[in-house]
Structure 1
Amino acid sequence: MAESSNMFTLASRIKLPNGASMPRLQLGLYMMSRNEAKQAVRWALAAGYRGFDCAQMYHNEREAGQAIRDFLASSDNTEGLTREDIHYTTKLSSNNTSYNTVRRSIKQSVDACGLGYVDLFLLHSPYGGKEARLTSWRALEDAVKDGEVRMAGISNYGVKHIEELLASQPRIRPVVNQIEVHPFNTQTDIRATCEKHNIIIEAYAPLVRGMRMRHPVIQSLSKKYACTPAQLLVRWSLQHGFVSLPKSSKRDRLLENVNVSEVNISADDMAALDNLDEHLVTDWDPTDAP
């Protein structure tokens, strides 16, 4: 599923199963304060980012959307970008057995960002049980049908949750599953299931939240490829065919982390990175939720 070109840039896009496309590199807004999110989005847009990954749980949907709208209307928008040029993702914080509760929650997110619609809306986790998962998905399908949301996907879904959803014969199939994946947690079973069902992987925490930057293999390969550990990790995720969501609220890092077009990891070194897997969970792991 890897891109044919080795030149991954902020302009690189991936074709989705439904025929649409989205940026291969997007800015994650997790654990950013409202002010940090507003500033980071503005910096990122100026730097060439066109994709932003938000969530109800992050409590910064309003600020992220405001920053996008402000940039598009400003003199900084020298390319004449429009809303259609930006890819905005957000996520439902809690699945619910009440269809109306979920439908209302989705609408609140669309209103909060102020962008007119959400490009990609995900169920943030499989928590809540089967009935809540399937009810929430039906509500999300209707949000797509009604034009509030363009595409629907899932997040933190394990193998059994993916199979459960597809066995329900949904009207709309998920285009992505956003999971924690990096060399220290390679998630091969979930990835294989997604590949079988033509679901794109979005990699969150691709930088391992900074926990393994000093690992000897990461240090050694960073020197070999004359790049930072962060660049090595982002490049690894891109070469595996994932959409990568590196997060930083620092202006220089926003640029540096995604400057990976000159890095091209050999097959042997990709295998060496894959072999670092220790099932490391940097935050939460709902993939085996009942």
Structure 2
Amino acid sequence: MVTVPSSCPTVPLSNGRNIPILGLGTSHVGGYSHEAVHCALQECGIRHIDTAKRYGCEEALGKAVVDSGVPREELWLTTKLWPGDYGYQSTKQACRDSCARLGVDYLDLYLMHWPDCMVPGVSSREVRSETWRALEELYDEGSCSFRVYINENLSLCLIYLQVEFHPFQQPLELVEYCRKENIVFEGYCPLAKGQALTHPSVMELAQKYGRSTSQICIRWSIQHGVVTIPKSTKPERVHENCQVFGFSLDDSDMAALSLLHDGRHVSWDPTHVE
């Protein structure tokens, strides 16, 4: 089981496990740093790391985890299945390959990276169904603790969902739906890829609370009960992003940030995926 510092709350899952509400995200194209991971694990007490095959850093991340000296059982490791690997047999092999690159025997969370399966001549629904069957078997085999599948019957097959979530993109109806259905909601891009950091309302609250704008955004997300995975390759930013449990935003300030929603996506937009 994952254990985390008492300063970082966890969110319970319907399968009895608990995921740290704050983690460190990674990404492709310069979105990984050994120093940042080492800082997060050794100096900041972070125990939740999010990556993906797509990012090309699983092997490097595995080495960073070993170098940190943090025992595997204390960590929550998430990686993702790339659409090019969707399908029954390829999903199973991709999971084994990710475990090998990370140097682990199991994953704490294995996500389908994107609902569009990108397989020519085959419907996405059919490919997702085959992929889901493989994920269920991997789960039963103990290769991963649980999994996510985005399809037409969310309440029947999900216990976890990862979606873009920041002051400009607030799918609050989906957040509420997940709460009702006992699905844990995780938000990525909590800083809107930096776009939220210079907004006047965020800057005003940073001044009010004596905090950075990134801390305001992360705290706002966490206070919504959203599992949050800010990304940074700079150790000093990792330190900054982790200092979000010593204060809370007033209800009026939470409401003020909620008014910033304008529907923009800073990452992929899944709206039209069938």
Tell me the TM-score normalised to structure 1 length. 0.85
1:62 and 2:47 matched: no
2:199 to 193, 199, 215: 215
Please tell me whether the aligned partners of residues 23 and 243 of structure 1 are also in contact (alpha carbons under 8 angstroms): yes
Please tell me whether the aligned partners of residues 32 and 60 of structure 1 are also in contact (alpha carbons under 8 angstroms): no
Structure 2 equivalent of residue 196 of structure 1: 180
Q: Secondary structure at the match of 2:196?
A: coil
- The CA deviation at 1:9 is 7.0
2:251 to 241, 248, 267: 267
- The CA deviation at 1:212 is 2.3
Counterparts in 2 of 1:1-290, with a 5 A limit? 11-31=8-28, 33=30, 36-47=32-43, 48-72=45-69, 81-94=70-83, 98-128=87-117, 129-154=124-149, 157=150, 161=151, 163-167=152-156, 173-290=157-274
- The alignment-based identity, stated in percent, is 34
The worse-fitting range, judged by mean Cα deviation, of 101-110 and 90-99 is 90-99
Structure 2 equivalent of residue 77 of structure 1: none
Amino acid at match of 1:280: R
- The CA deviation at 1:190 is 2.0
Amino acid at match of 1:131: E
Between the aligned partners of 1:64 and 1:260, the Cα distance in structure 2 is: 24
Please tell me whether the aligned partners of residues 7 and 245 of structure 2 are also in contact (alpha carbons under 8 angstroms): no
- The CA deviation at 1:241 is 0.3
Q: Secondary structure at the match of 1:263?
A: coil
Q: Secondary structure at the match of 1:203?
A: strand
Between the aligned partners of 2:173 and 2:95, the Cα distance in structure 1 is: 30
Structure 2 equivalent of residue 170 of structure 1: none
Q: How many residues align?
A: 263
Between the aligned partners of 1:17 and 1:237, the Cα distance in structure 2 is: 21
Between the aligned partners of 2:7 and 2:76, the Cα distance in structure 1 is: 12
Please tell me whether the aligned partners of residues 148 and 158 of structure 2 are also in contact (alpha carbons under 8 angstroms): yes
Amino acid at match of 2:217: L
- The CA deviation at 1:139 is 0.8
Q: Secondary structure at the match of 2:244?
A: coil
- The CA deviation at 1:97 is 6.3
Between the aligned partners of 1:32 and 1:115, the Cα distance in structure 2 is: 24
- The CA deviation at 1:82 is 1.8
- The CA deviation at 1:13 is 1.5
Please tell me whether the aligned partners of residues 69 and 115 of structure 1 are also in contact (alpha carbons under 8 angstroms): no
The worse-fitting range, judged by mean Cα deviation, of 37-46 and 175-184 is 37-46
Amino acid at match of 2:106: Y
5+ residue gaps, structure 1 = 1-7, 73-80, 168-172
Spell out, residue by residue over 1:20-50, the C-alpha distance to the aligned partner (whole angstroms, 9 max, x if none): 001111000113648x433321121112111
Superposed CA RMSD in Å reads 1.9
- The CA deviation at 1:131 is 1.2
Spell out, residue by residue over 1:72-123, the C-alpha distance to the aligned partner (whole angstroms, 9 max, x if none): 2xxxxxxxx4211010000011166631111111111111111211111011
In structure 2, the CA distance between the partners of 1:230 and 1:275, relative to structure 1 (3 Å rule), is: same
Q: Secondary structure at the match of 1:150?
A: coil
Please tell me whether the aligned partners of residues 159 and 184 of structure 2 are also in contact (alpha carbons under 8 angstroms): yes
Tell me the TM-score normalised to structure 2 length. 0.90
- The CA deviation at 1:288 is 3.3
Between the aligned partners of 1:58 and 1:96, the Cα distance in structure 2 is: 14
Structure 2 equivalent of residue 76 of structure 1: none
Q: Secondary structure at the match of 1:201?
A: strand
Amino acid at match of 1:229: T
